[in-house]
Amino acid sequence: MAAPNPYVFGSSGANLSINPGFGFALNVGAGTGNVFGDIGVRGDASLALGDNSFGLGANLDLVLPLPQVGYTPYFGGGLGANLISVGNSSTTSFNLQGLVGVDFPLNKNNNGRIFIEAVPQYFFSNSNGFALGARAGLKLNL
């Protein structure tokens, strides 16, 4: 079994949802690969801004990388919690999310990677709904 490989990451992206609509998000997080065999664990915190809306979120995901060929495709999923404020009202919601992405090495030493991923989400709150996000960012191995 391979040793865990911890990393930190930051990303930005956009979300499109039925309600409250379009938003822009910034994420920071940390994770490690090879926790359960090849499966890794990562967590992140997010700040989202949209049309008359504001959100804070936290997510925890399991991530499975696929065999490498210079780049690493991966998929995973997890749970999240969000505090969303739209206009003068706010609500807490929980979400299930998936993720599909690919990362590319920055250099030959493989100590940094650029990634892009799609993040579909289903929110459980006063108004259940779907959102589709896309984000790109940088991972740095520790």
Reported as a pLDDT band with limits 50, 70 and 90, residue 57 is: very high
- Res 51: pLDDT: 74
pTM of the model: 0.84
Higher pLDDT: 62 or 1? It is: 62
- Find out whether 27 and 46 touch, Cβ atoms under 8 Å: yes
Reported as a pLDDT band with limits 50, 70 and 90, residue 19 is: low
Look-up of token digits 């700040």: 47
Query: pLDDT (tens digit, 9 = 90+) per residue, 112-142?
Result: 999 999 999 998 876 678 888 999 999 998 8
Q: What domains, with CATH codes, occur in the chain?
A: 5-141 (2.40.160.20)
Straight-line distance from the first to the last Cα atom of the chain, in angstroms, rounded to the nearest whole number: 19
Phi-psi region of 35 (alpha: psi -120 to 50; beta: other; left: phi over 0): alpha
